[in-house]
Amino acid sequence: MKNIEKIIIELSKCYDGEKGSLDYTTPFELLVAVMLSAQCTDARVNIVTKELFKIANTPEAFSKMKVSEIEKLISSISFFRNKAKHIREASVQIMNNFNGVVPETMEELTTLSGIGRKSANVIMLEAFNNCQGIAVDTHALRISNKLGLSKNTDASKVEQDLLRKIPKKYWRVMNHLFVYYGRAICDARKPKCNECVINTYCKEYKKRTKN
């Protein structure tokens, strides 16, 4: 069995099966929540969207708002000005190009303002139950580098490396495993390496414990 399969089996054993932790009730709400979640915690996003979605939760509603109005509603989120702009632009695009409905293909989703491949992967998987790849967030990127699965630092390149190395049957679960493990064990600042179930595969750990 290849190391990557052994790693996936070990991570799966400790993964509690928790799915994405953003709150949403429609694909469009998820799209907005995913946009807001860049460099922000899911908990903070959920607090903000709980109130935001009472005021607007459709592309039609957001397309009629001014960017400054959206900014006020999401001002406790990191990079809120940029995100407000993207939410409005994407809403207008959905209204004009997709009849007001969030598109269901990777190609179409990535034409929307503020939606890159990582966000599109999350939306495809969570909203449409259609796994098209592996969403590479900060956790997936960091752990992939530590395990030597990719030397790249650009998320799209890391994803391409992972898609080449990981059999397709594992792509779905991989969307959750690295995020879960990055939060629970392989923390960016204080990784719990002695508790880590995959430390024998970790290049960084091996280097550190060599002497």
Q: Smaller CB distance to ligand SF4: residue 32 or 149?
A: 149
Distance separating alpha carbons of residues 176 and 161, to the nearest angstrom: 17
Please state the φ and ψ torsions of residue 57, each to the nearest 5 degrees: -145, 20
Give the burial class of 123: count Cβ atoms within 10 A of its Cβ; 0-12 exposed, 13-18 middle, 19 or more buried: buried
Write down the least CB distance from residue 15 to ligand SF4, Å: 14
Give the burial class of 210: count Cβ atoms within 10 A of its Cβ; 0-12 exposed, 13-18 middle, 19 or more buried: exposed
Q: Smaller CB distance to ligand SF4: residue 91 or 150?
A: 150
Q: Which one is catalytic: 118, 157, 169, 192?
A: 118
Write down the least CB distance from residue 90 to ligand SF4, Å: 35
Write down the least CB distance from residue 136 to ligand SF4, Å: 16
Q: Smaller CB distance to ligand SF4: residue 33 or 185?
A: 185
Residues that bind ligand SF4 (CB under 6 A): 143, 146, 185-186, 191-193, 196, 198-199, 202, 204-205
Write down the least CB distance from residue 132 to ligand SF4, Å: 26
How is residue 21 written in tokens?
């932790």
Q: What is the dihedral of CA 170, 172, 178, 179, to 10 degrees?
A: -170
Distance separating alpha carbons of residues 175 and 89, to the nearest angstrom: 27
Q: Which of 95, 137, 90, 83 is nearest to 109 (CA)?
A: 90
Q: Which one is catalytic: 50, 54, 137, 165?
A: 137
Is residue 137 annotated as part of the catalytic site, yes or no? yes
Q: Smaller CB distance to ligand SF4: residue 155 or 196?
A: 196
Distance separating alpha carbons of residues 181 and 147, to the nearest angstrom: 13
Is residue 146 annotated as part of the catalytic site, yes or no? no
Catalytic site residues? 118, 137
